[in-house]
Amino acid sequence: MCGILAVLGCVDTSLAKRYRIIELSRRLRHRGPDWSGLHCHGDCYLAHQRLAIMDPASGDQPLFNEDKTIVVTVNGEIYNHEELRLKLKSHKFNTGSDCEVIAHLYEEYGEDFVDMLDGMFSFVLLDTRDKSFIAARDAIGITPLYMGWGLDGSIWFASEMKALSDDCERFISFPPGHIYSSKTGGLRRWYNPPWFSEHIPSTPYDPLVLRDAFEKAVVKRLMTDVPFGVLLSGGLDSSLVAAVASRYLSEAEVARQWGSQLHTFCIGLKGSPDLRAAREVADYLHTYHHEFHFTVQEGIDALEEVIHHIETYDVTTVRASTPMFLMSRKIKSLGVKMVLSGEGSDEIFGGYLYFHKAPNKEEFHQETCRKIKALHLYDCLRANKSTSAWGLEARVPFLDKNFLNVAMAIDPEWKMIRPDLRRIEKWILRNAFDDEKNPYLPKHILYRQKEQFSDGVGYSWIDGLKNHANQHVSDAMLMHASFVYPENTPTTKEAYYYRTIFEKFYPKNAARLTVPGGPSVACSTAKAVEWDASWSKNLDPSGRAALGVHADAYKEENLEKNPAPQISTAPNDLPPKQAVAEAAAMAAV
């Protein structure tokens, strides 16, 4: 990941202002330690801190068109840049950077080119010919972007809040899938997939189509000129990413540069569930596995730095970000600059355990849509900022635009958790990769139930955080929390403790409002309580709040003895008897 800062329409154009922009841009240097760039044009400044992933030798930013009338500063990766270059044969490219296509696409197609980009990105583009500019963020918000306004009428954009919070009176998290145009003076949505509407999809489930779309999503993210690996927790999502990447490396061109053995990484307290599960998957896939340990005290000692980097006080995000932050430092020390990660799958397929309580497919689908739309405030924010704190880039194949379109078009009846049909959460994903002839993963791993990341690194991690918070937050402090923090009032001592740290770094009201609020409930969603009121009794957002969901029917040992019913993956074969019976049962619902 890189760091971008753009200030447009400044009244002050003095040398002191330039130095101030440079100073603020340095606050993002952790995101891009490889090079710094700044372009000034009148009252507009575009700054960049580069993490060199593609074309390290010549891809420094800001980037330009041929006559340098169009300037762009970008944070992200454009996976289809070679395909886009073919559409721009009349243009001359000066670098091998995947992001240079943005300047030329704008010159060729105007502001409506953004939907042509396949990747993760946030960028600001200045057209010096008429001093107009646009800013845009990728479809889901994988890369962070903030937008602010100065008292002098200037508009600011930055990858992280810390670069603009001191100089802007008001700022917001730039909404995913949107573009801001100075010509119209407002935001508009450029990403409008069918699943955004209230319409309930009806496409039949085809395991081969789903599998193929995911494999392509993983493979395109292996586009790199630097060493890379996979974050492997041993859960379903990261294990599938590792399995697909490992298969591809054995025959891919990239293997000639970095070797055909995939590197995988995992962190946890000694003896934690994730460490055991990840080692088992790594042994099966024959990856070069790196296992990192941390202690509860080491995690607690890092909390202030973590919250400063991730810019949120959300309890679940802080819990999960801390081990990821510590792991990223270790990974970077090995010379690795890019990793693949499994974020997004639980939102797409209803993988969180409270989805067991979904009353019907309509509500199931609507909840998955809501979760995906909020990812930029939670898991995307965590994955990006925890890794970028150490100059490491995280790529997330489950949030690939095409894969999302395929997965979200499937009739949600297929995603429903159905104990009567032996379907656990994310069954359609598990089934898609259940290949008897050429297994991607062992069955017991493929059908292993979800473990929340902050739990999986070691159950004593959360207990340690709570105990630490209890020592620093008194009963009286929590009782009067609504007077101290009237917005997004913390309801637990742990939440109160994180809030005090956040306020120390980001004291403005605009900063605290960039964090999603509301009372903390089981699985961090009020929908769980709506589906089952008993969940309201547990204020802890940990996966352990889902007591009673881990029914005996879903335990691993039973799944090994009675694996989930399979659908034929041969396109021209008749489905097996079990699938026919299953289809009949579904038709009766």
Which amino acids are annotated as binding site, given as ranges? 98, 231, 267, 341-342
**What integer pLDDT is reported at residue 570 of this predicted model?**
33
pLDDT tens digits along 475-508: 999 999 999 999 999 999 999 999 999 999 999 9
Q: Where are the domains of the chain?
A: 3-192, 196-545
User: Average per-residue pLDDT in the chain?
Assistant: 89
pLDDT tens digits along 222-260: 999 899 999 999 999 999 999 999 999 877 666 666 677
When mean pLDDT is compared over 119-123, 355-359, 418-422, the highest value belongs to 119-123
Q: Which of 127-131, 291-295, 452-456 has the lowest mean pLDDT?
A: 452-456
Q: Which of 8-17, 165-174, 271-280, 446-455 has the lowest mean pLDDT?
A: 446-455
As beta bridge partners, residue 263 has 288
Banded model confidence at residue 455, pLDDT cuts 50, 70, 90: low
Q: Give the type of residue at 381.
A: L
User: For residue 95, is pLDDT > 80?
Assistant: yes
Helices and strands counted in the chain (H then E)? 25, 17
Collapse the DSSP code of 336 into the 3-class scheme (helix H, G, I; strand E, B; otherwise coil) and give the result: coil
Q: Name residues whose C-beta falls within 8 Å of residue 95's C-beta, 6 or more positions apart in sequence.
A: 55, 58, 59, 60, 63
- Structural contact between residues 353 and 549, judged by C-beta atoms closer than 8 angstroms: yes
pLDDT tens digits along 131-162: 999 999 999 999 999 999 999 999 999 999 99
Fold of 196-545: Rossmann fold (3.40.50)
**What integer pLDDT is reported at residue 553 of this predicted model?**
37
Element containing residue 212 per DSSP (H, E): helix 207-220
Give the C-alpha separation, 44 to 26, whole Å: 18
- Between the CA of residue 510 and those of 165, 178, 501, what are the distances in Å? 8, 20, 16
- Structural contact between residues 11 and 154, judged by C-beta atoms closer than 8 angstroms: yes
Give the C-alpha separation, 330 to 266, whole Å: 10
Pairing type for strands 263-268 and 228-231 reads parallel
CA-closest candidate to residue 1, choices 326, 399, 381, 515: 381
- Structural contact between residues 355 and 409, judged by C-beta atoms closer than 8 angstroms: no
User: For residue 582, is pLDDT > 50?
Assistant: no
User: For residue 206, is pLDDT > 70?
Assistant: yes
pLDDT tens digits along 500-558: 999 999 999 999 999 997 544 334 456 777 887 776 666 565 554 454 554 443 444 34
Give the C-alpha separation, 230 to 309, whole Å: 22
Higher pLDDT, 199 or 286: 286
Cα Rg of the chain, angstroms: 24
- Structural contact between residues 45 and 6, judged by C-beta atoms closer than 8 angstroms: yes
Q: How many CA atoms lie within 13 A of 213 on its CB side?
A: 21
CA-closest candidate to residue 93, choices 37, 136, 135, 54: 54
Collapse the DSSP code of 97 into the 3-class scheme (helix H, G, I; strand E, B; otherwise coil) and give the result: coil
The token duo for 481 is 């929390």
Collapse the DSSP code of 210 into the 3-class scheme (helix H, G, I; strand E, B; otherwise coil) and give the result: helix
SS (H, E, C) 550-574: CCHHHCHHHHHHCCCCCCCCCCCCC
**What integer pLDDT is reported at residue 528 of this predicted model?**
74
- Between the CA of residue 2 and those of 143, 168, 208, what are the distances in Å? 9, 22, 36
Give the C-alpha separation, 368 to 371, whole Å: 5
Q: Give the type of residue at 494.
A: E
Banded model confidence at residue 449, pLDDT cuts 50, 70, 90: confident
Residue 2 is among the residues annotated as catalytic for this protein: yes
| Range 98-119 average pLDDT | 96
Banded model confidence at residue 287, pLDDT cuts 50, 70, 90: very high
Share of the chain above pLDDT 90, in %: 78
**What integer pLDDT is reported at residue 539 of this predicted model?**
54
Collapse the DSSP code of 15 into the 3-class scheme (helix H, G, I; strand E, B; otherwise coil) and give the result: helix
Catalytic residue among 2, 10, 99, 266: 2
| Range 106-129 average pLDDT | 97
**What integer pLDDT is reported at residue 313 of this predicted model?**
97
The token duo for 496 is 């109160």
**What integer pLDDT is reported at residue 412 of this predicted model?**
97
- Structural contact between residues 161 and 507, judged by C-beta atoms closer than 8 angstroms: no
User: For residue 588, is pLDDT > 60?
Assistant: no
SS (H, E, C) 394-463: EECHHHCHHHHHHHHCECHHHCCCEHHHCECCCHHHHHHCCCCCCCCCCHHHHCCCCCCHHHHCCHHHHH
Q: Which CATH superfamily is domain 3-192 in?
A: Aminohydrolase, N-terminal nucleophile (Ntn) domain (3.60.20.10)
| Range 434-452 average pLDDT | 88
Q: How many CA atoms lie within 13 A of 562 on its CB side?
A: 12
Tokens 């995280």 correspond to what residue? 394
Banded model confidence at residue 78, pLDDT cuts 50, 70, 90: very high
Give the C-alpha separation, 69 to 60, whole Å: 17
CA-closest candidate to residue 56, choices 218, 197, 223, 224: 224
Element containing residue 359 per DSSP (H, E): none
**What integer pLDDT is reported at residue 579 of this predicted model?**
36
Share of the chain above pLDDT 70, in %: 87
Element containing residue 115 per DSSP (H, E): none
Banded model confidence at residue 568, pLDDT cuts 50, 70, 90: very low
User: For residue 467, is pLDDT > 80?
Assistant: yes
**What integer pLDDT is reported at residue 1 of this predicted model?**
77
User: For residue 454, is pLDDT > 60?
Assistant: no
What is the residue-wise DSSP string for 463-520?
HHHHHHHHHHS-HHHHHTHHHH--SS---SHHHHHHHHHHHHH--SHHHHTTS--S--
Give the C-alpha separation, 68 to 194, whole Å: 38
Collapse the DSSP code of 524 into the 3-class scheme (helix H, G, I; strand E, B; otherwise coil) and give the result: helix
**What integer pLDDT is reported at residue 59 of this predicted model?**
80
**What integer pLDDT is reported at residue 578 of this predicted model?**
37
Question: Over the range 419-457, which residues count as b (16 or more CB within 10 Å of their CB) and which as e?
Answer: eeebbbbbbbbbbbbbeeeeebbebebbbbbbbbbbbbb
What is the residue-wise DSSP string for 145-205?
-EEEE-TTS-EEEESSGGGTTTT-SEEEEPPTTEEEETTTTEEEE----GGGSSPPP-BPP
- pTM listed for this prediction: 0.90
Question: Over the range 191-224, which residues count as b (16 or more CB within 10 Å of their CB) and which as e?
Answer: beeebeeeeebeeebbbebbbebbbbbbbbbbbb
- What is the CA angle 106-395-370, rounded to 5? 85
Length of the chain: 589
Which amino acids are annotated as binding site for ATP, given as ranges? 231, 267, 341-342
